[in-house]
Amino acid sequence: MSKSGKKLKIFIGILAVLAIIRIALPSLTKFALNEYLEDFSPSLVAHVSDVDMAIIRGSYTLEGIEARLKKNDREFLKIASVNASLSWKELFEGFLSSNILIKNLEMNYTQSLLPAVKEHLASLEEPKKKEKSPILIPRIDLLDSRISTDYVPSLTTKGRVILSDLSARITNVIPHKNSQFSPFNVKGTLIGSGKMKMEGEINLYTEKPQWTVDTEILNFDMTTLNKFLRKKLPLTFTKGELDFYAEAKSEAGPIKGYFKPFIKGLDVVKSDEDFEGPRHWIIEIISAIGNITFKEDQVMATRIPFTIDKEFKVDGDETIEKLIAHGFLQEQSRGIENSISLKQAQEEK
Amino acid sequence: MKYLILGFILLGCSSKEPKEKPIIYPEESAEVNTTNPKSPSIVAKQLAAEQGSHFVTELNFDKGSTKLNQDHRKELTRLYKEARQEQDIETIQILSWPDSKKSDEQTGLADKRAKIVKKYLKGLDDEITFIEINMANKEDESDLKKSLKIQEAYKDKTSLVMVIFVPERH
């Protein structure tokens, strides 16, 4: 055999080996990953159905992810696909940088999920905070997802869905000294009715996370709450639409903020449920006045400051003052005030 | 207390117009309706944070205008000084939006806005690399544009120039 023929055979041989490795790589990765996910946590277990790789493009996709609780084998998470992109440019600069895109996530919140997650988190080692991390996750996106729960069945739609059409983004997921904040936003439909938006920032670099969040829920059909309220209060909404705004923050301590409900065209009727003593007295009085039917364009609104420090507390004095002001003097402005900011709070310290 | 509050909510009713008119963002926007808009917006903060930066600003232009006013200049100078004080700046990214839907004229308008901002910043520091992204230009397929498209967070923005100072690390 000529020299050139031998070289060609070696070249073809190398190519064949590389091709076999390339073909086998997704299956080998899937096998190794599933081995790991089987035993990565004392309380949780997960499984991946398929792994796709586009090595030159730097795109890696996991498909058909399912996660279950070890204790009762209940499925709490299903994800159609998770795509991680790898930046070659940043790899050559010494960083592993990957954006993550999650599509069609379905999470089912059950009563046993929280203890299982706590058990899992307790088993993890505390990550060391670094001034500069060699791993970067610039952004995680969530698209076309939903959250369901069997925890409060009276507050869900068919299929126990509490939040649908869910999309979200969090950026700078692994913060470092010079870039500590991770801005995030969430959008979705609440109980099949209200359009919900949240935006905020979280500082995961500090020992205890600090965060600020603005929330908006628009056009929420109040009658959606009837099934839930029936068990708590002797009232039924026959119509009414709620717009809700809230701003809150926590600097590793109590949560402080305010919320502003706007209720339009409300019609409330007293239900036939029994009067349950002093807890229902105000409802009884309001119902007795028979004054809770409003015109279509009439809006009730106020601003309620609150603190959550182990329990939810409302600043009663300020609330009543605002109620009188908004009831008789000037209507409350819709929208958040942007009066709470994490940066500002740090400067005040 | 909660029942008392509920009772008062029901009474807190007025037909008078509110003093402060809020900015109502479209449903697809990431921004929450507000009487006091944040600057920079959540979209701008996220785009900067993706690149390990928190030095970002948004300059709003009048319709049809490419003029950099005194407030724009002050804001760019403030941000440049703050950024330089904290870190070495490698690149400045300038994303420019037109006034309305894409057309050759609107693409040109967005381009002129980016150029005027770049010219001013070059006057402050001509050693920095500039990246201009015209949001009206269909052919421009930069990573930042792709990032904005994922959540469709670019659609409701108009007459705007977003400036991001990216630190040397990247």
ipTM of the complex in this document: 0.87
Q: Between B2, B22, B27, which is nearest A333 by CB? A: B22
pLDDT category at A327 given cuts 50, 70, 90 is low
Q: How far apart are CA A109 and CA A122, in angstroms?
A: 20
Give residue A158's pLDDT.
75
Give residue B4's pLDDT.
53
Encode pLDDT of A216-251 as tens digits: 999 999 888 888 877 777 677 888 889 999 999 998
Residue with tokens 């498909």: A63
Give residue B56's pLDDT.
96
Q: Do A146 and A223 belong to one domain?
A: no
Q: Taking 70 as the threshold, does the pLDDT of residue A108 lie above it?
A: yes
Q: Do A151 and A217 belong to one domain?
A: no
Average pLDDT, integer, range A271-291: 53
Q: Taking 80 as the threshold, does the pLDDT of residue A154 lie above it?
A: no
Q: Taking 80 as the threshold, does the pLDDT of residue B87 lie above it?
A: yes
Task: Tell me whether residue A230 is in a domain.
Answer: yes
Give residue A132's pLDDT.
64
Q: Taking 90 as the threshold, does the pLDDT of residue B70 lie above it?
A: yes
pLDDT category at A22 given cuts 50, 70, 90 is confident
Q: Which CATH number describes the domain made up of B39-167? A: 3.30.1330.60
Average pLDDT, integer, range A152-164: 81
Give residue A290's pLDDT.
42
Q: Do A155 and A68 belong to one domain?
A: yes
- A142-151, A170-179, A192-201, A340-349: least confident range: A340-349
Give residue B109's pLDDT.
94
Q: How far apart are CA A31 and CA A29, in angstroms?
A: 5
Q: Which domain holds residue A84?
A: 26-179
CA-nearest residue to B149 within chain A is A141
Q: Taking 50 as the threshold, does the pLDDT of residue A112 lie above it?
A: yes
Give residue A223's pLDDT.
87
Average pLDDT, integer, range B52-73: 94
Q: Indicate the number of domains in chain A.
A: 2
Average pLDDT, integer, range A42-61: 92
Q: Do A32 and A166 belong to one domain?
A: yes
Q: For A258, which DSSP code?
A: E
Contact status of A276 with chain B (Cβ, < 8 Å): no
Average pLDDT, integer, range B88-96: 93
Contact B18 A334 (CB under 8 A): yes
Q: How far apart are CA A161 and CA B15, in angstroms?
A: 36
Task: Judge whether A306 and A317 are in contact, CB under 8 Å.
Answer: no
Average pLDDT, integer, range A170-194: 90
Give residue A124's pLDDT.
83
Q: Do A265 and A168 belong to one domain?
A: no
Q: Do A247 and A292 belong to one domain?
A: yes
Q: Do A124 and A222 belong to one domain?
A: no
Give residue A294's pLDDT.
57
Q: Tell which of A134, A164, A179 closes a domain.
A: A179
Task: Tell me whether residue A10 is in a domain.
Answer: no
> How close, in Å, is residue A34 to chain B by CA atoms?
29
pLDDT category at A346 given cuts 50, 70, 90 is very low
Contact status of B149 with chain A (Cβ, < 8 Å): no
Task: Tell me whether residue A238 is in a domain.
Answer: yes
Percent of chain B at pLDDT above 70?
Answer: 87
Q: Which helix (H) or strand (E) holds A120?
A: helix A113-122
Give residue A35's pLDDT.
94
> How close, in Å, is residue B52 to chain A by CA atoms?
6
> How close, in Å, is residue A160 to chain B by CA atoms?
25
Task: Judge whether A66 and A144 are in contact, CB under 8 Å.
Answer: no
Q: Taking 60 as the threshold, does the pLDDT of residue B101 lie above it?
A: yes
Q: Taking 50 as the threshold, does the pLDDT of residue A295 lie above it?
A: yes
Contact A330 B23 (CB under 8 A): no
Dihedral angle sign, alpha carbons of residues A159, A163, A168, A170: negative
Q: Do A171 and A272 belong to one domain?
A: no
Q: Which helix (H) or strand (E) holds B113?
A: helix B104-124
Give residue B12's pLDDT.
53
Q: Do A248 and A310 belong to one domain?
A: yes
Task: Tell me whether residue A233 is in a domain.
Answer: yes
CA-nearest residue to A102 within chain B is B150
Contact status of A198 with chain B (Cβ, < 8 Å): yes
> How close, in Å, is residue A178 to chain B by CA atoms?
8
Dihedral angle sign, alpha carbons of residues B85, B87, B89, B94: negative
Q: Taking 80 as the threshold, does the pLDDT of residue B161 lie above it?
A: yes
Q: Taking 50 as the threshold, does the pLDDT of residue B28 lie above it?
A: yes
Q: Which helix (H) or strand (E) holds B116?
A: helix B104-124
pLDDT category at A291 given cuts 50, 70, 90 is very low
Contact status of A301 with chain B (Cβ, < 8 Å): yes
Contacts of residue A209, defined as CB under 8 A and 6 or more positions apart, other chains included, come to: A202, A203, A250, A252
Percent of chain B at pLDDT above 90?
Answer: 55
Average pLDDT, integer, range A125-131: 64
Q: Do A123 and A222 belong to one domain?
A: no
Sheet with strand B160-167: strands edge to edge: B56-60, B160-167, B89-96, B129-134
Higher pLDDT, B37 or A287: B37
Contact B3 A281 (CB under 8 A): yes
Give residue A320's pLDDT.
61
Give residue A345's pLDDT.
39
Task: Tell me whether residue A196 is in a domain.
Answer: no
Q: Taking 90 as the threshold, does the pLDDT of residue B91 lie above it?
A: yes
Average pLDDT, integer, range A163-172: 95
> How close, in Å, is residue A9 to chain B by CA atoms?
42
Task: Tell me whether residue A74 is in a domain.
Answer: yes
The radius of gyration of chain A's CA atoms, rounded to the nearest angstrom, is 27
Higher pLDDT, B19 or A296: B19
Q: Taking 50 as the threshold, does the pLDDT of residue B21 lie above it?
A: yes
Q: How far apart are CA B95 and CA B48, in angstroms?
A: 12
Higher pLDDT, A327 or B22: B22
Q: How far is CA A240 from CA A93, A161, A211, A335, in A?
A: 57, 22, 33, 19
Task: Judge whether B40 and B57 are in contact, CB under 8 Å.
Answer: yes
**pLDDT averaged over every residue in chain B:** 86
Q: Do A123 and A51 belong to one domain?
A: yes
Contact status of A320 with chain B (Cβ, < 8 Å): yes
**pLDDT averaged over every residue in chain A:** 82
Q: Do A43 and A86 belong to one domain?
A: yes
Dihedral angle sign, alpha carbons of residues B18, A215, A84, A159: negative
- Return the C-alpha torsion angle B79, B84, B88, B93, nearest 10: 20
- B91-100, B116-125, B148-157, B158-167: least confident range: B148-157
pLDDT category at A280 given cuts 50, 70, 90 is low
Task: Tell me whether residue A8 is in a domain.
Answer: no
Give residue A348's pLDDT.
36
